[in-house]
Amino acid sequence: MKKTTILGFVGVLLLAILVAALAPLEKTLGSNARLVYFHGAWVWAAMLAFSGAAVAGAIGLLSRRIAWQRTSQAAGRTGLVFWLIFLPMALLVMQLNWNGIFWNEPRFRIPLNLAVVGLLLQVGLVFFPLTWTMLANMSYGVVFFLAMGSTDSVLHPDSPIFNSDAQAIQIYFVGLLILLAVAAMLLTRAWYEWETHKDLQGR
Range of 21's domain? 3-202
* Domains identified in the chain, total number: 1
Tell me, letter by letter, the H, E, C secondary structure of 11-40.
Answer: HHHHHHHHHHHCCCCECCCECHHHHHHHHH
Tell me which residue of 198, 179, 133 sits closest to 12, measured CA to CA: 179
pLDDT of the chain along its 203 residues, tens only? 678 999 999 999 999 999 988 877 766 556 677 788 899 899 999 999 999 999 999 999 999 999 999 999 999 999 999 999 999 998 888 887 666 676 777 788 899 999 999 999 999 999 998 899 999 999 999 999 999 887 766 555 565 565 555 677 778 888 999 999 999 999 999 999 998 877 677 65
Three-state SS across 34-65?
HHHHHHHHHHHHHHHHHHHHHHHHHHHHHHCC
Residues in contact with 159: Cβ distance below 8 Å, sequence separation at least 6, in sequence order: none
